[in-house]
Structure 1
Amino acid sequence: MAKSKGMLESNYFVGIDLGTSRSEIVTEDGIRGVAESVVGWPQDIIGLKVLGSSIAIGVTALELREFLEISFPLENGTIKEGVDRDIEAAEELLKHVISLALIPENKKICGVIGVPAKASSQSKKILREIAAKQLSQVMLISEPFAIAYREERLNNSIIVDMGAGTTNFCAMKGKVPDENNQESLKKGGNFVDQILLDALKHKYP
């Protein structure tokens, strides 16, 4: 029993949301860290000298985007499949977000990561592989289900989660929802913003 207790005490639990627009981590101690979901690299030696680093993440990348190679690795809510640079960007973003949590040393980080309700098997595989480099244990759960669990809307409820890149639905019927009770649309707040912008440009050219 003492061994089991010691193992439990060495674990440190975090929840992670890698979003299209922003990414966030929350720890078991209530510590929160937030970063814009954008990564940039200097395009040449001048950019490297100006930046003073080989990589920029979050607000820094946005502010200096004119001379950076920019990646939004979760543009549609999931890591872009088959694009090595975006996979690298997602890995750097995750590493950065975890660093914001000020996790105590000598702890095994156990992470629960939210994914879109209908994320593909391949995108989840890529995310697991990336997360396994930073976390001792990884669990992926559907984002709308995570919201339902947090809000204790576990029965006779429909959860709608609109992010910047996707809109996710989940029907809660007193059990963990299966694929038939969840849906994802690859349109979210960014799509709505673009429609409004186009309408304004059309009316006020």
Structure 2
Amino acid sequence: MDTAESFQNENEATDYPAASGTDRETSYLGIDLGTSVITICNNKGSTFSEYSLIARDNNPDSERDDEDRLYVGKAALERADLELNWPVKDLLYKGGNCGNLRALIEHCVQAAGITAEHEHRYAMISVPPCADASYRRAVVDAARPLFRGLMIANGPFCVAYGNKKINGSIIIDAGACKTDICRIHDCMPEDRDYLNVPVAGENIDQELVDLLAEKYEGSTVTKELARTWKETYGFVGDADEECRVELPIGDSTEDVMINEELRLACESIIPDIVSGILRIVSDAEPQFREALRNNIYLCGGSSKIRNISSFIENELREVGGGKVFLLDRPECAGAYGACMLAEKMPGEFWEKLSNLDNAKKSDVIL
């Protein structure tokens, strides 16, 4: 079993510093392929995020060239006339198109300002612990032409590594489609160390849509609009501001306050997350359980809901207690840790890896 401590270094995660003494012609990238958001960190200290979404204008009469016909992230959301594709989600759950994922990654690498040529780019891609071999292979197939060296890494381990939390912690990565709960204790996590909880941000969005439809007859709120309100006002527990929105009802809108519905929607995922934490703790060796309970760290897009760490901690008090902490810049934690891992790998390792075929590369995972 590999020892996680062998990969730990001294950088502080909260500052996201550029590496010292690094060849300026070489870029080491950490890429977190979220189903909703893709995040890229590089060894020069910069971070880039965008919705994991693309749309293509396939109109044969369009005067735009092929590259200009691709819309990514927010630009794609603005094209209501085009079919939207979520490449990461499609590949993870439906076995989608590798070409769409490659287009997404390539666009975001360019948008992130990565100027190093292909031969001087190395990437560590963070993937969910539940990702199977076919998904990892698809990611490698999609991304390999863009980098000299490429490796897949366990997402929660990347988070723990980047935040120096590998010595006895629980990482909760609350994303859009699911919440990963992973136990990290001195070694690379195995299958028995993680739990996939099938509730996350999209469940909140749908619950908010349903609650508003129940209260306001004729409500035409979409999941996309609900997501925007959640990202702007989302909270659990006590609200610190009024959440007033223009609610679409039929052909008009109405100014309403949605505090109660938003609170209920955001709190709807908490019981399953708490149950997952308890299961992960109870499955650990008895001598490690107290340390794990008191070192629970939240990251991911849904972790930005106001008060979520203290709310979960309060829920845990009813079942034995625990300490829950929100990581700094939680939406970037996976990409930053992946970048640190990429930079830590020795040059000869990357050289050997670059000579493997894609099928074997997908089997090399941290």
TM-score > 0.5, shorter chain as reference: yes
CA contact (8 A) 2:127 2:154 kept: yes
Q: Counterpart of 1:67 in 2: which secondary structure? A: coil
CA contact (8 A) 2:27 2:116 kept: no
Provide the residue aligned with 1:5 in structure 2.
none
Distance between the aligned counterparts of 1:51 and 1:36, measured in 2?
23
Query: Could you state the TM-score of these two structures normalised by the residue count of structure 1?
Result: 0.84
Q: Which amino acid aligns with 2:69?
A: S
Aligned partner (choices 68, 75, 91) of residue 102 of structure 2: 91
TM-aligned CA deviation for residue 34 of structure 1: 1.8
Summarize the Cα distance change of 1:92–1:80 in structure 2 as closer, same or farther, 3 Å threshold.
farther
Asked which structure has the greater RCO (Cα within 8 Å, sep 6+), the reply is 2
Please list every run of at least 4 consecutive aligned residues from structure 1 whose deviation after the TM superposition is greater than 4 angstroms.
49-52
Distance between the aligned counterparts of 2:89 and 2:159, measured in 1?
21
Distance between the aligned counterparts of 2:70 and 2:47, measured in 1?
23
Distance between the aligned counterparts of 2:87 and 2:160, measured in 1?
26
Segments of 5+ residues of structure 1 without an aligned counterpart are: 1-7
TM-aligned CA deviation for residue 50 of structure 1: 8.1
Identical pairs, percent: 26
Q: Counterpart of 2:212 in 1: which secondary structure? A: helix
Distance between the aligned counterparts of 1:76 and 1:92, measured in 2?
14
Q: Which amino acid aligns with 2:158?
A: A
Q: Is 2:129 the partner of 1:135?
A: no
Provide the residue aligned with 2:279 in structure 1.
none
TM-aligned CA deviation for residue 163 of structure 1: 0.7
Provide the residue aligned with 1:44 in structure 2.
59
Provide the residue aligned with 1:30 in structure 2.
45
Q: Is 2:174 the partner of 1:159?
A: no
CA contact (8 A) 2:33 2:125 kept: yes
Provide the residue aligned with 1:73 in structure 2.
87
TM-aligned CA deviation for residue 144 of structure 1: 1.4
1:17-67 Cα deviation digits (max 9, x unpaired): 121221111110012222211111114245x35899321111111101x22
1:149-174 Cα deviation digits (max 9, x unpaired): 12211122111100112211110111
CA contact (8 A) 1:77 1:116 kept: no
CA contact (8 A) 2:179 2:197 kept: yes
CA contact (8 A) 1:20 1:164 kept: yes
TM-aligned CA deviation for residue 74 of structure 1: 2.0
Summarize the Cα distance change of 1:131–1:43 in structure 2 as closer, same or farther, 3 Å threshold.
closer
Provide the residue aligned with 1:55 in structure 2.
70
CA contact (8 A) 1:116 1:184 kept: no
Summarize the Cα distance change of 1:120–1:175 in structure 2 as closer, same or farther, 3 Å threshold.
same
Larger Rg: 2
Aligned partner (choices 9, 30, 33) of residue 18 of structure 1: 33
Segments of 5+ residues of structure 2 without an aligned counterpart are: 1-21, 218-366
Summarize the Cα distance change of 1:100–1:108 in structure 2 as closer, same or farther, 3 Å threshold.
same
Provide the residue aligned with 1:170 in structure 2.
182
Distance between the aligned counterparts of 1:77 and 1:168, measured in 2?
18
Provide the residue aligned with 2:199 in structure 1.
187
- State the number of aligned residues: 193
